[in-house]
Each structure stands twice: as C-alpha cells, then as structure tokens.
Amino acid sequence: MAKQFGGKFSPRGKTSTTTSASESDAGAAQPPRAHAVSRNAKVDPVGVRSNLMFVPGGLLLLLSVTDQAAGMALGMIAAGIWTGGAYMLREGLRATAAFEERRVARKPALPRKILAALLVGIGAALAALKAEPNILTALLYGLATCGLHLAAFGLDPLQDKGTEGIDDFQQNRVARAVEEAEFSLDSMTDAAMRSRDREVEERVEQFQAVARELFRTVEEDPRDLTAARKYLTVYLQGAKDATVKFADIYSRSGDATARADYLALLSDLENNFAARTRKLLLEDRTDLTVEIDVLRDRLQREGVHLDRS
C-alpha cells in the first residue's frame, strides 16, 4: 500500500515538536483537507491550442518586415489583429469555463470567442490581400478562417443558466458581492504564497473551497444574500488582512506561534462558513417544504387528492 512521505525534510515534518503539538490542538476540529483542496483545484481552460494562436501573428510580422511599405503595413495590421484575437480567445475560454462550472450564471456580456473568430477572419483576409490583391479571394479566406475557428473552439454561452424566476436586481447584487469576495480570496492566495509554507497554502486553499461553497449557495438563491453578506464582506476582509499580516511576519521571522495562531484562525473561519452554508441550505429546504404543503392544500380545495405515500 502506498504511504505518504513524511520525513524530516518534508513540508509537514520540518517544524518542531512544540509547534506540531500546538497546531494539533488548534486544528483538532479541522475537517479532512485533501477533499476540500481537490474541490478547490481548477484546471486552466486555456490549453495548448489557444496558446498556439499567438504563433501566426508573430510569424506574419517577421515575414512582413522585408516587404514594401504597403505589404509591410498590411502584414503588421493583420498580425496585430491576430494577436488581439488570440488574447480574446483566452479570455473567452476562461469565461465559458466559469459559466459552465456554476449552476446559476448569466451569459457573458461580451461574446469573446465569437469576437476572436471575427478578428482572426479579418486578419486572415488582410494577410491574403497582402499576398494576392484580390478582394474576393481575401474574403473567402477570411470567411473560411472564421468558420474553422468557431468549429475548433465553439461559441460563447448565448443564454442565461438557472436564472428562471430570479429577480435581475437581486442577481446583480449577488454578482457584485461575489466578485468583491473573490478579490479578497485572490489577495489571500497571493499573501499565502509569500509565506513560502506549503501547509499554509493548502489550508488557505481549503478555506477558499468552503467559502466558494457559500458563494454558490447565495448565487443559487439571491434571497440568502442578506444572511450571508457579513461573511462575504466583513469576515473575508478580516481573513485577507490577517493573511497579509501573517505573511509579513512569518516571511521575516518564521514565528511558529504566529503560524499556529493563523492556522487556528483559518479553522475557525472555515467552520463558521461551513455552518452558515448548512444553515442556508436547511432554510431553503424548509421554505420548499412550506411551499409544497401550501400547493397541496390548494389542490385539495380544488378537489385534486394527492397520494402522500
């Protein structure tokens, strides 16, 4: 059976006995780490194919340097448009991945992948016009390139998902609150990396996974925002400030007491966020039960009898 390496020089084995004991007391109530960290892990949707889209623009720019003025100008413009299309494609892939991982989401305001296909098509038309001054040929090349780009990378989400019956104003409030909360989590990640302690980074990731579960719960039912706002603002802001201060102290002095106190704080925050998420879900189920009972009573008054078995 495989065993985890935990020797003297491993990240979990380099602290002193006193530190380990204090951390054990501080983290006795911590839930399992591996599962939460794995839920928080994300694969960057920008793959090799999209990164290769930067290559044609660079090659065209190099090949256009030795051309005459008109050809060099067309080549440089086409190369710039291709590069802009490649960048827009990367952003579109990330936006699509964020849309797909949520059960409630609005379509992107800017269809980046479609715009990227149009830019690549325009760039291809200009490149073809540079090689052969025939507008019809250039137009055919542009259309073909645009179509192939859409076939390779697909379209942007064109419809909202899971927003039926949700008030637009409330949904926008939730979106702004979650966006600000994500900024706090990103700041925590940057600060934790400065501590250069792998276990601290893992514990921050674990807390972020629990916090994002609360985010998703509020997104699915914007009515929960009032009950969760303190967690998305005050508590997360405090967690971010504490992480920044800890990173400043620990990166300079390696203070074991500060490390143990910070890990204990993360455990408390994680437990509080998880408890709030469970409470919101329980309240949602209670509301659903009430609505079902009310509907059954109405149907019975209309003479429709339901089997409760």
Average pLDDT in the 83-88 region? 93
**For 174-185, how does the pLDDT look when each residue is reduced to its tens digit (9 = 90+)?**
878 888 888 889
Q: What is the pLDDT of residue 148?
A: 94
User: Is the Cβ–Cβ distance between 109 and 121 less than 8 Å?
Assistant: no
Q: Is pLDDT above 70 for 243? A: yes
Q: Is pLDDT above 60 for 158? A: yes
pLDDT band at 225 (very low <50, low <70, confident <90, very high): confident
Highest mean pLDDT among 21-30, 87-96, 218-227: 87-96
pLDDT band at 278 (very low <50, low <70, confident <90, very high): confident
Residue ranges per structural domain of the chain: 48-153, 165-301
Q: Which pTM was predicted?
A: 0.56
The Cβ of residue 243 has, within 10 Å, a number of other Cβ atoms equal to: 26
Q: Is pLDDT above 70 for 24? A: no
Average pLDDT in the 137-152 region? 93
Q: What is the pLDDT of residue 162?
A: 65
